Amino acid sequence: MALNYYQRLQNLQQRKYDPEIRKSLISESFGRGTVPENIEYLLESTKPIPEDYNAKTIEAANRVQKHLERDFNLHFGRAYRMQGSVRTKTNIKTHSDIDLLTIVDRYHYVGAGVPNNEPYTASNPDEDIIELRKQATRILKLKYAIVDDSGSKCISIRNQNLKKEVDIVFAFWLNSKQFHDNNSDEYYRGIYLYDFPKKQRESDYPFATIGQVNSKGTATNDGSRKGIRLLKNLRADNEKIELNSFQLTSIVHSIDGSQLIYKQSGNEITIAQSISTELSKLIEDRNYRINVQSPNGLENPLEKDEIVVHLKNIKSDLDQLIIDCAGEFKNSVLQKAILTY
């Protein structure tokens, strides 16, 4: 089905709109007619949000941490880490939020195979993390006009000066066997997220995920990140594509890095074709799909069969984009315009 590139470019402009300066952080060449709309959509969909805007998002999280740490009155220390697409430079919006992990730092849980010779008994962890959230909510409501405390695992604030949102996510440390066996390298360390209504812990390994995505991004000269951004923009422009960011990231991460290396403007079409080939394999080979691992190597985010319809939907849009662009990339005049876009 034909893609409405005019509307998609408008959507993309809006995603990159900065309300503070009242302009979109789109390329200087955008809208000048140097390349057709279909190629412009492909090129713009792969481009990163500028570093200084991501820095503002990180600064908003740092300010939250300072407020919390100054006013907490708890019997345990806290550790803070950040996670989210801003940390991997795969965000597609200027107003992307960021997770500020707020972690109970007096004790930790241990994973399978890790000795626990001195179990912690000085307090009740459930009561500790509930009090952590209670105090955080009170502190942040005194500092920010917009605070949403309805989330099951987090509370959210909006910094109206920086025009940025921060999710404060509460957790415990989870020391895995790999962490134990690798000289306490935090790359292997996990966390237990806490579902407050259910009073249940959910394991996660965000540091390995961030490390792997960034490592592949560097090795491919940003090519893998460009692929992730492209899929995120395709999803954003089609409500029938119900794939989360973790799944989209895992799709691109499963592709051999040699197929994603970015050399110059124009290579975007090659990266798109590599992703299309991978999507075909995921759709046609169930055994392959259910065994595809997340970047941290610990999860299988594509294993449910109901995901196939959404893989087909995103592949349909991607393939149409490739068809619309492939021939024009061979035009010598357009090639020069693409190189300078």
pLDDT at 60: 96
Q: How many CA atoms lie within 13 A of 43 on its CB side?
A: 25
Q: How far apart are CA 337 and CA 33, in angstroms?
A: 10
Please report the pLDDT score of residue 191 as a whole number. 98
Which residue has better confidence, 94 or 239? 239
Choice between 187 and 336, residue whose per-residue pLDDT is larger: 187
Banded model confidence at residue 21, pLDDT cuts 50, 70, 90: low
pLDDT-derived band at 211, boundaries 50, 70, 90 = very high
Count of CB atoms within 10 A of residue 125's CB?
17
Task: Note whether 210 and 217 are within 8 A (CB).
Answer: no
Domains of the chain by residue range? 5-48+222-339, 52-205
Is the per-residue pLDDT at 20 higher than 70? no
Tell me: pLDDT of 39 over 80. Answer: yes
Give strand pairing partners of 102.
80, 170
Range with the poorest average pLDDT among 25-34, 64-73, 185-194, 252-261: 25-34
Cβ(246)–Cβ(84) under 8 Å? no
Confidence of residue 208 (pLDDT cuts 50, 70, 90): very high
Chain CA centroid to CA 57, Å: 13
Token code pair at residue 58: 């990180």
Query: What are the angstrom distances between the C-alpha of 51 and each of 56, 171, 182?
Result: 9, 28, 32
User: What value does the mean pLDDT of the chain take?
Assistant: 94
Residue 132 has a pLDDT of 98
Q: What is the pTM of this model?
A: 0.93
CATH class of 52-205: alpha beta
The predicted pLDDT at position 95 comes to: 80
Q: What is the mean pLDDT of residues 327-334?
A: 84
Residue 266 pairs in a beta bridge with none
Above 80 in pLDDT, residue 23?
A: no
Looking from the CA of 99 toward its CB, the CA atoms found within 13 Å total 19
CB 212 within 8 A of CB 303: no
Three-point CA angle 149, 246, 326, nearest 5°: 130
Nearest CA-CA partner of 214 in 98, 83, 302, 95: 83
The better pLDDT of the pair 337, 92 is held by 92
By mean pLDDT, which of 11-20, 96-105, 175-184 is the weakest? 11-20
Res 24 pLDDT > 90: no
Amino acid at 217: G
| CA–CA separation, 294 and 301 (whole Å) | 6
- Looking at residue 334, its pLDDT comes to 86
Supply the pLDDT for residue 258.
Answer: 98
DSSP string of 178-236, one letter each residue: HHHHTTT-GGG-EEEEEETTTTEEEEE-HHHHHHHHHHHHHHTTTHHHHHHHHHHHHHH
Strand 98-110 versus strand 164-175 pairing type: parallel
Q: Is the pLDDT of residue 236 over 80?
A: yes
